[in-house]
């Protein structure tokens, strides 16, 4: 359900960027969505269509989501590993001294204007 709130934030930010760049119509918005960001891209798409079509500048604009895989870093053996597969425990050395390197993004990458 928080996808709706997030879409409102996206719309506000891209409208501002469009204004700064004197853009009259945006044809697509490209997002980077981390695998463990808790944002579900399908839900985001659903509410995007509903909310974007209410804005003249975004009418019909597509939302593209790049999924960023979640990667943890182990401070002990200095390696990266899949956070979703192994969780907090490093599969190489068994250490719990690990943290999320990437995969938490909810980021507007770019807008495309045609």
| Residue 42 touches other proteins, criterion: CB under 8 A | no
- CA nearest 82: which of 31, 32, 35? 35
SS3 state of residue 24: coil
Q: Binding to other proteins by residue 23, rule CB under 8 A?
A: yes
- Helix, strand, or coil (residue 12): helix
Q: What Rg, from alpha-carbon coordinates, does the chain have?
A: 18
112 is an interface residue for other proteins by CB under 8 A: yes
- In angstroms, what is the minimal distance from the CB of 101 to other proteins? 15
Task: Tell whether residue 64 is a contact of other proteins (CB under 8 A).
Answer: no
**80-102 as b/e, with b when 16 or more CB fall inside 10 Å?**
ebebeeeeeebeeeeeeebeeeb
Regarding 85 and contact with other proteins (CB under 8 A), the answer is no
The yes or no reply on residue 76 touching other proteins (CB under 8 A) is no
Closer to other proteins by CB, 1 or 56: give it.
Answer: 1
Q: Is 14 in the site for other proteins (CB under 8 A)?
A: yes
Helix (H/G/I), strand (E/B), else coil: 36: coil
Interface residue list for other proteins (CB under 8 A): 1-2, 4-6, 9-10, 12-14, 17, 21, 23, 38, 88, 96, 105-114
């Amino acid at each position: 359900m928080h996808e709706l709130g997030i879409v409102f934030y996206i719309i506000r930010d891209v409208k501002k960027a469009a204004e700064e760049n004197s853009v009259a119509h945006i044809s697509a918005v490209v997002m980077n969505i981390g695998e463990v960001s808790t944002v579900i891209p399908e839900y985001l798409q659903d509410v995007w269509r509903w909310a974007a079509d209410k804005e003249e500048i975004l009418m019909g604009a597509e939302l593209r989501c790049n999924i960023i895989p979640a990667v943890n870093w182990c401070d002990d053996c200095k390696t990266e590993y899949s956070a979703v597969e192994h969780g907090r425990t490093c599969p190489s050395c068994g250490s719990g001294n690990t943290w999320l390197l990437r995969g938490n993004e909810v980021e507007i990458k770019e807008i495309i204007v045609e």
